[in-house]
């Protein structure tokens, strides 16, 4: 079993829909990161959080430390949100990554 599990692996939705991607981890962490990997391969860090909730534009990330679970939400999704979203946890100064969720938003 991977230390970091994401669900779903693939998600297709229509423009405007509310999107939720989940991440569960099985080990103690110092922080959790949400990353976005574009079709061209570049990686952008969206959030780093260790408790509570963060919001940036249409993106919201939450974490429940007791349940070892985090969610990434996208409101009013748009085709430009199509990408792979990766959850990663910080352990001992390195990141352990989930397998990613491939999101496709259709117009």
Which residue in 1, 39, 41, 80 binds another protein (CB under 8 A)? 41
Which residue in 17, 58, 95, 102 binds another protein (CB under 8 A)? 95
**Nearest 5°: CA angle at 91, between 52 and 85?**
60
Residue 33 binds to another protein (criterion: CB under 8 A):
yes
Residue 103 binds to another protein (criterion: CB under 8 A):
no
Residues with Cβ within 8 Å of 58's Cβ and at least 6 positions away in sequence, in order, are 74, 75, 76, 77, 81
Residue 42 binds to another protein (criterion: CB under 8 A):
yes
Distance separating alpha carbons of residues 80 and 68, to the nearest angstrom: 30
Q: Which residues bind another protein (CB under 8 A)?
A: 30-31, 33, 35, 40-45, 48, 50, 86, 88, 90, 92-100
């Amino acid at each position: 079993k991977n230390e970091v599990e994401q669900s779903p692996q693939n998600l297709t939705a229509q423009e405007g829909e509310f999107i939720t991607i989940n991440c569960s981890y099985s080990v103690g962490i110092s922080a959790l990161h949400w990353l976005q990997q574009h079709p061209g391969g570049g990686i952008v860090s969206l959030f780093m959080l260790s408790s509570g909730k963060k919001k940036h534009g249409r993106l919201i990330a939450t974490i429940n430390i007791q349940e070892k679970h985090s969610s990434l939400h996208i409101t009013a999704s748009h085709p430009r949100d199509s990408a792979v979203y990766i959850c990663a946890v910080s352990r001992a100064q390195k990141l352990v990554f989930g397998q990613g969720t491939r999101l496709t938003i259709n117009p």
